[in-house]
Amino acid sequence: MTMALMLAWTTSSPAAPAPDANALIASLGRPAPARTSFAEARFSSVLDKPLVSSGELAWLGQDKLERRVDIPRKETATIAGDTVTQTREGKSPRSFSLSRAPQLKVLLDSFVALLAGDASRLGEAFTVQLDRDGAHWSLALTPTDAKVAKQISRIVVDGQGNEPRCMRMEEGDGDTAIDLLGPLAAKMPSEPTHEALVALCTGAAP
């Protein structure tokens, strides 16, 4: 996960999600600890092919989130309050403030708010738009702070029923990270393309 060197945001007039979005977000709530497997493909203009990783995301309660990577190498990032601790196999742990990594702050707020079913928390930092297409739904989360939007332009969460299937993080420079969540993580192609993953996320591909 890319580490940017800008602080996250404050908001002055949060906009609450629409009632239909409120109901969907509430249905996504899970008691802590909540764990889900993930497989991520990161697309960057400076890379010939996407970086692929897989492991487990865990919400441990309150603002504590753990991201464990098993492939391609073992490492764990734990966010507790304002502190991030990274451990890598064969190396000593290192810690730093979330002020150095706004993407992690955005991920924390969006992931925790979804797992807690907390629509008001999402509305404090994002404009929330819900779209439905049959059984498939898509939540588009756009940061309300202009400085943050330059780094993270949008997060899109795709799902069916009360299960999120994917989280797409679109960065201001055009780079994109697509996470397949839960059972869908096992369907990460060996050579993923952006188009193929979006098709999986939206249910256009089996």
What pLDDT does 10 receive?
Answer: 22
Q: Please, which pLDDT band fits residue 5 given cuts at 50, 70 and 90?
A: very low
Residue 201: per-residue pLDDT: 94
> Which of the two residues, 32 and 106, has the higher pLDDT score?
32
Instruction: Write down the domain spans for the chain.
Output: 19-202
Q: Are strands 163-171 and 176-181 parallel, antiparallel or unpaired?
A: antiparallel
Query: Quick one: DSSP state of residue 31?
Result: P
Structure tokens at 131: 């779209």
| Structure confidence at residue 15 (pLDDT) | 43
Q: What is the 3-state secondary structure (H, E, C) of 147-195?
A: HHHHHEEEEEEEEECCEEEEEEEEECCCCEEEEEEHHHHHHCCCCCCHH
Class of domain 19-202: mainly beta
- pTM for this entry: 0.84
**Which residues lie below 8 Å from residue 4, measured CB to CB, with a gap of 6+?**
101, 102, 103, 151
Q: Which residue has the tokens 């492939």?
A: 71
